[in-house]
A and B are shown apart, each in its own frame.
Chain A
Amino acid sequence: MQIHIDYFAILREQAGRQRETLQTDAKTPAHLYLQLCEQYGFELIQARLRVAINDEFCDWSQNLSDGDRVVFIPPVAGG
């Protein structure tokens, strides 16, 4: 399954890239984040993040579909 990922803020810096497309066997965003933590050493735990699929907030247990665009959202700090 092919998934597009956009990285922002601290995750963008730790991944060393703004976006990527990768082949994954991850079924859910939770599973995908674990894989990426192993790859990039993200320090933020999942409990402190939110996740979006195709520009809408979603559950960590939602099923990923081929071609989905996933964004992991670090703790926000607008204003």
Chain B
Amino acid sequence: MSTFLLQKEPIDTAALRQRVADPDCGGYASFEGWIRNENEGRAVSRLEYEAYAPLAIAEAHRIVNEALKRFEINNALSAHRLGALDVGDLAVWVGVSAPHRADAFAACRYIIDEIKQRLPIWKKEHYADGKAQWVNCAQCASQASLV
């Protein structure tokens, strides 16, 4: 069973929650990442997500396998949107089931943190003033020009 979904369609959290459910588990933790209406003081109107899919999927599987080794959890599943999203949309979802809540919380936190740091996924922010930029890349470009 795939443990990571990369999709243009909205994420069906109820269906994913069912896939994580397990009679051996007494705890379930999930995380939803939403599109905020501002970033670093600038009003955000919409976002575009883009991914290098084969490597993003492979790396996400590695992250889930790491979580399964580090924590006492039974199931973990995550999903990330692609394409154009609006403020308030669900961009990323993580769900974890475990015998007890402490490991469910910890594994959920681990997975979302690693997803944000490691998956080759990019977002372009479009601002209310009509400008747009690739997040994390503008700073890099300006740093490069200082070198």
Residues of chain A at the chain B interface (Cβ within 8 Å): 6, 8-10, 12-13, 43-45, 48, 50, 52, 55-57, 71, 73-79
Contacts and interface: CB of A to CB of B under 8 A. Distances in A.
Nearest to A9: B122
Interface in B30-65: 33, 49-52, 54-56, 58-59
Contact of A75 (B33, B54, B56, B140): B140
B118 A71 contact: no
A75 B136 contact: yes
Contacts of B91: 79
Contact of A77 (B121, B141, B145): B121
Contacts of A6: 52
Given A6-B52, A9-B134, A74-B134, 15 more contacts: A9-B50, A9-B137, A44-B141, A44-B144, A45-B143, A50-B120, A55-B55, A57-B55, A74-B137, A74-B140, A77-B123, A77-B135, A77-B137, A78-B92, A79-B92
A76 B121 contact: yes
Contacts, number: 92
Given A6-B52, A9-B137, A55-B54, A79 B115 contact: yes
Nearest 8 CB-CB pairings of A with B = A78-B121, A9-B122, A79-B116, A75-B136, A77-B135, A43-B141, A55-B54, A10-B134
Interface of B: 33, 49-52, 54-56, 58-59, 80, 91-92, 112, 115-124, 134-137, 140-141, 143-145, 147
A71 B50 CA distance: 14
B120 A45 contact: no
Contacts of A8: 50-52, 120, 122
Given A43-B141, A44-B141, A77-B136, A56 B120 contact: no
A9 B144 contact: no
Contacts of A50: 120
Contact of B122 (A45, A52, A77): A77
Contacts of A43: 140-141, 144-145
